Structure 1
Amino acid sequence: MHASQKRSAGLGLALASAFAFGGSGVAAKPLIEAGLDPLHVVWLRVTGAALVMLPVAWRHRRLVRERPVLLAGFGLFAVAGVQAFYFASISRIPVGVALLIEYLAPALVLGWVRFVQRRPVTRAAAVGVVLAVGGLACVVEVWAGLGFDAVGLLLALGAACCQVGYFVLSDQGAGHGETADSEPPHPVGVIAYGLLAGAVVLTVVAGPWAMDWAVLGGSAEMNGHDVPAWLLLCWIVLLATVLAYATGVVSVRLLSPQVAGVVACLEAVVATVLAWVLLGEHLSPPQLVGGGVVLIGAFIAQSSAPRPPSGPVASGPGVTVAGAAEAQEPAGTGSELSRPPASP
């Protein structure tokens, strides 16, 4: 494949991933409003995707022995943590607002790099952080005493912190006990086992045996229209999880974490537009402007963050995985495994 064809294919897959991830909250919110607990919706999403990815997990079963910490961290933070906090937040605040708050993750990662690891950051990266925080102030309407539910805002911030936790874990685990010739973990295998680990954690936390299963046999309302609940669940599992992660990983391999991360910023735009059209969630002009500033700040922060020394995780074969994925990882952290899941 020629370079131009490779780039075009990568951009197409990155766009597909952003659109797929962007629809997760829009499909989940009607199920939550129909009577399902947010944690139960997350459990259905993660467990369903884990079952679909079982053949992939079996093919990469050596990862359980070679990378147990990485798999556990991905399952706990990038899968269970991000998605649980995100779905809980959208039960209280608009989908677009929750996802934009998650885009503070690049700024938080830079804060970790500067103040905890005591590594320098560029002036442009600092500007990106200031823009992201300032834009977020417009999104949450600080001049109105926070125009949204404070608990919902804190839950969305928790999702951003979970993304940071996985990024830091990947960064600190890079190269530990490994040689330069070690084979990097395959990102699809990491995703498969991350989903399995997340499903185990969520089974304990969510208690699916207490779920109102009858809701899945009924319908959920989307902006005045009834939609079969099972159809929304298929959307969440197959499109917003399996397809989203798979296309995101391949796009990073064809492009680069930086370019794929920039395209992933469209996820917030997609989520906001879909929530506007399908859920009737309207944002005010100042909030829309603030959202744009958040994305610009996140882009600058991702593009300007310093790179850590490369290692088996940092130089993996291709994330946002984040997320990282809900998830895409800030390019400066070096890991290519996560997608941000912001909406995970």
Structure 2
Amino acid sequence: MPVRTSESSHGGGGKGVGLGLALGSALAFGGSGVAAKPLIEAGLGPLHVVWLRVAGAALVMLPLAVRHRGLPRRRPALLAGFGLLAVAGVQACYFAALSRIPVGVALLVEYLAPALVLGWVRFVQRRPVTRAAALGVVLAVGGLACVVEVWSGLGFDALGLLLALGAAGCQVGYFVLSDQGAGAGEEAPDPLGVIAYGLLVGAVVLTFVTRPWTMDWSVLSGTARMNGTEVPAAALLAWAVLVATVIAYVTGVLSVRRLSPQVAGAVACLEAVIATVLAWVLLGEHLSAPQVVGGAVVLLGAFIAQSSAPATGAAEPVAGSGAERELSARGTAAQ
């Protein structure tokens, strides 16, 4: 369901603004983990942190939902898929993974999503993919082996890795859903409206799953330790809601409107780098040299998988095309 973009938006000035927005989105999404992990360590459950983030962002975006109040009637399946997968599923799995493995590792595992999408296209939809795309898959998987240090017998928490893979799987589900696009003659929905309703759906679902009334609300009135420094818990939550969710989603969507989806997706790969660096500086989470190299290989593989052209004779663009990223400018969803 491509978002119609005017030709003028791809001019030199538009591209400059678009690149700035894409970098801002990657920075905002990349900071979600370093804001959430201290709250988790201070006593909040991972799913409670997810609920606070999503519910807070849904309230901020509520005026946009009111503006697009006809959207649920026209595209209920899209909104349900966005809310369940790109918002609730990705966030819940990712934040739960953060409680068990380093931020950088969790996000790098999540970036297997482009490779998994190609697997869906090739083996489930039985559509051809390019050799470059296949190379991207091989590189991403090989890089992941270095990130999790398979030679040491998976030194990381196995459940944490499975949760991170679950986040990648939720991204795949949303990519496949968005690949359906708008039907013939059907106008594509406004991405900001989809985001607003996706957050509302995610907040409702997470309310039943997390039961926030059981949360230790007193944690939010105290402080959390960030690499030995006491930081107000409320400030970390405000960052997670306003910057790492609302600003991240909106700047991501606006960047796609000014750039080609391939360029926006490539810039979005910087999110994993930014998250890893921020976790290093702010949380003291250090990665070994093989993990750093493996992370670079994962990102290279993700970039190739996202930007490769469709194979000759393919009826539709394959797995790296705009349809999969128009509404999830970074990759979905959804960090």
TM-score range, shorter chain: over 0.9
Match of 2:234 among 221, 230, 249: 230
What does residue 81 of structure 1 align with? 89
1:5 is the counterpart of 2:9: no
Amino acid at match of 1:88: A
Say yes or no: does 1:297 pair with 2:301: yes
State the SS of the aligned residue for 2:178. helix
**Matched residue, 2:4:** none
Return 5+ residue gaps in structure 2 as ranges.
Answer: 1-7
- The question of whether the paired residues in 2 share the 8 Å contact of 1:22 and 1:343 is answered with no
- Provide the secondary structure at the position in 1 that maps to 2:321: helix
Give the superposed CA RMSD: 1.7
1:183-219 per-residue CA deviation (whole Å, 9 max, x = no partner) reads 1100000000000000000000000000000000000
**Equivalent residue number for residue 279 of structure 1:** 283
Partner of 1:324: none
Determine which of 80, 90, 111 is the counterpart of 1:103.
111
Aligned equivalent of 1:332: 321
The alignment status of 1:174 with 2:166, answered yes or no, reads no
Which of 161, 171, 176 is the matching residue for 1:153?
A: 161
Contact 2:220 2:234 in 1 (8 A): yes
Matched position secondary structure for 2:225: strand
**Match 1:184 to one of 165, 188, 197:** 188
> Are 2:86 and 2:334, in contact at CA under 8 Å, matched by a contact in 1?
no
- 1:331 is paired with a residue whose SS is coil
Corresponding residue number in structure 2 for 1:119: 127
Alignment of 1:249-328 (within 5 A): 249-304=253-308, 306=310
Q: Which runs of 4+ in 1 moved over 4 A?
A: 307-310
Distance 1:132 1:40, change over 3 A: same
Report the alpha carbon displacement of residue 309 of structure 1 after superposing the two structures with TM.
6.2
Q: For residues 161-186 of structure 1, give each alpha carbon's deviation from its aligned partner in whole angstroms, at most 9, with x where no partner exists.
A: 00001111122x324xx332x21100
Q: CA–CA distance in 2 between the matches of 1:292 and 1:56?
A: 37
Higher RCO, Cα 8 Å, sep 6+: 2
Give the corresponding residue for 1:207: 211
- Matches of 2:301 and 2:152 in 1, distance apart? 23
Q: Deviations over 1:282-340 (max 9, x none)?
A: 00000000000000000000111539867xxx9xxxxxxxxxxxxxxx63362311242
Q: Which residue of 2 aligns with 1:27?
A: 35
Paired residue total: 323
With structure 1 as the length reference, what TM-score do the two structures score? 0.91
Which amino acid in the other structure matches residue 30 of structure 1?
P
1:326 is aligned to none
3-state secondary structure, aligned to 1:226: strand
- Secondary structure of the 1:221 match is strand
Partners of 1:245 and 1:21 lie apart in 2 by: 8
* Distance verdict in 2 for CA 1:61–1:19, change over 3 Å: same
Give distance in 1, aligned partners of 2:320 and 2:93. 23
Partner Cα distance (1:206, 1:117) in 2: 35
Taking only the aligned residue pairs, the percentage that are identical comes to 75
Q: SS at the partner of 1:185? A: coil
Which residue among 74, 86, 98 is the counterpart of 1:66?
Answer: 74
What does residue 197 of structure 1 align with? 201
221, 224, 229: which one aligns with 1:220: 224
Tell me, which stretches of 5 or more residues in structure 1 are unaligned?
315-329
* Shift in Å, 1:96: 0.2
Q: Taking structure 1 as reference, are residues 159 and 75 closer, same or farther at Cα in structure 2, changes over 3 Å only?
A: same
Distance 1:194 1:267 in 2: 21
The two structures have a TM-score, normalised by structure 2, of 0.93
Q: State whether residues 147 and 291 of structure 2, in contact with CA within 8 Å, keep that contact through their aligned partners in structure 1.
A: yes
Compared CA separation, residues 240 and 80, structure 1 to 2 (3 A): same
